[in-house]
A = this chain, B = another copy of it.
Amino acid sequence: MTAYPSALLTDQYELTMVSAALKDGTADRRCVFEVFARRLPSGRRYGVVAGPGRLAELIRDFRFAEAEVEFLRRAGIVDETTARWLADYRFTGDIDGYAEGELFFPGSPILTVSGTFAECVVLETLLLSVLNHDCAVAAAAARMVTAARGRPIIEMGSRRTHEAAAVAAARAAYLAGFASTSNLAAGAKYGIPTTGTSAHAFTLLHDDESAAFASQVAALGKNTTLLVDTYDIAQGIRNAIAVAGPDLRAVRIDSGDLSVLAGHSRELLDSLGATETKIIVSGDMDEYSIATLAAEPVDMYGAGTAVVAGSGAPTAGLVYKLVEVEGRPVVKRSENKATVGGRKTAVRRHKPTGTATEEIVVSQGVPDHRPNDRLLQRSYVVGGEILDPVPLAESREHLRQCLISIPWEGLKLSAGDPAIPVTIVPTT
């Protein structure tokens, strides 16, 4: 098992802060922490909230086992008092936040964690790890889905990212509208449709390409995808149709100038009577290469490296900041890293047509209500009780609706400002 006890998925400073706070009596001060992004990755027009659906299980399991506490004590990281506190640790506070699949912008308070200082601060590392990773993948994936204009995309990036990150990445890509994943653990754990047929190795294993195709069709039937670019693509297509017949489901091309090859392959398939055989293209696909193929007769895309690595933005830039202590807003003044204190309430404003116009974030208050406002926060944890996560399919549909709601410029791939402005109203 690739198993990590989740409570040690934590930066040491969280525990040294708990130690010091337990000693000086501040550990129990009522605090509010907020997860937000100071800015979006360069040129991006929106962020996508992804990860809350994974957090329920991780927070529930966030307990320091005896051996872990012993490790921390023996390493001199925590003292006796803190060791005992950790052994009893259980989050008893509240977590509210944006729905999974919601869009976010600079300053959006996507997660709000309240409770004692100590119980909130020890969750920082886990919350940020999950959200920074999953949001980064989901945002990249959502742009690819837009670029694909309704054509399905298969997530096939597991081999390009950490083995456990691959599972979360498959989930985030599916949330963002991908059709399926190659990752079996994601299928087993999250019920995401899985897909996959063969690699070049399978063709090379056989005495010739036709033998490989015949074997695959014998095992998987004609409703399969034959990989036709191991040797010569045109010959590969001819072999595929000769072996499987014109009702072969699909061919896949994984190399070469796909914009030229797609058209040639379509013509060739049609000339062989395989007019319904789909063309799947893969190989270094990102939102830009997908957009480039919009006019070509491509039926489906396979995306790997770019989606799991966030297409140039592998982390979402989310931070976890203390914004309130005992009801009093707090802020740091560091250069370029200033924050607005106080617990925030957020709404998104819309035109009567449903187009989003603005996000209003009010510190220690509530935005005045207007028609077509939508409250953006919901409860995830109430008094330590972890609410059941929203089904992934529902979050996927939520994101689809959100992307329809933003102004059309917001969906452009080119660099630009956030799709809608966020107005943050500080505590008065």
Encode contact with B along A198-230: 1 for CB under 8 Å, 0 otherwise: 111111111000010011101110000000011
Chain B CB count within 10 A is highest, among A3, A160, A320, for: A160
CB <8 Å contact, B205 and A322: yes
Q: Which residues of B contact A71 (CB under 8 A)?
A: 187-188
Encode contact with B along A4-42: 1 for CB under 8 Å, 0 otherwise: 111011111111110111011010010101000000000
Whether A17 contacts B218 in the complex (CB less than 8 A), given A9-B166, A75-B194, A336-B256, comes out as: no
Distance in Å: Cβ of A113 to nearest Cβ of chain B: 11
Q: Which residues of B contact A2 (CB under 8 A)?
A: 2-4, 6, 9, 58, 61, 164
CB <8 Å contact, B184 and A10: yes
Whether A13 contacts B199 in the complex (CB less than 8 A), given A20-B219, A24-B215, A71-B188, comes out as: yes
Which of A98-106, A123-131, A291-299, A411-419 contacts its partner? A123-131
A45 near B: Cβ within 8 Å?
no
B20, B314, B331: the one within 8 Å of A215 (CB): B20
B1, B129, B169: the one within 8 Å of A6 (CB): B1
Q: Which residues of B contact A24 (CB under 8 A)?
A: 206, 211, 214-215, 218-219
A108 near B: Cβ within 8 Å?
no
Q: Which residue of B lies closest to A316 (CB)?
A: B160
Copies held by the complex: 2
A325 near B: Cβ within 8 Å?
yes
Give the docked Cα–Cα distance between A231 and B339 (Å). Answer: 12
Whether A26 contacts B128 in the complex (CB less than 8 A), given A16-B198, A188-B68, comes out as: no
A424 near B: Cβ within 8 Å?
no
Q: Which residues of B contact A160 (CB under 8 A)?
A: 128-129, 132, 315
Distance in Å: Cβ of A217 to nearest Cβ of chain B: 9
CB <8 Å contact, A29 and B205: yes
Q: Which residue of B lies closest to A320 (CB)?
A: B159
CB <8 Å contact, A166 and B129: yes
Whether A315 contacts B305 in the complex (CB less than 8 A), given A168-B162, A196-B16, comes out as: yes
Q: List 28 A-B contacts (CB under 8 A).
A: A2-B58, A8-B185, A9-B183, A10-B158, A10-B185, A12-B184, A13-B182, A16-B196, A16-B219, A23-B219, A24-B214, A24-B215, A26-B215, A71-B187, A117-B201, A121-B202, A125-B159, A128-B160, A129-B160, A132-B159, A133-B162, A160-B315, A203-B332, A205-B322, A205-B330, A229-B334, A230-B332, A254-B334
Identify the A interface with B (CB < 8 A): 1-6, 8-17, 19-21, 23-24, 26, 29, 31, 33, 58, 61, 68, 71-72, 75, 77, 79, 117, 121, 124-126, 128-130, 132-133, 156, 158-169, 182-185, 187-189, 194-206, 211, 214-216, 218-220, 229-232, 254-257, 305, 308-310, 314-315, 320-322, 325, 330-337
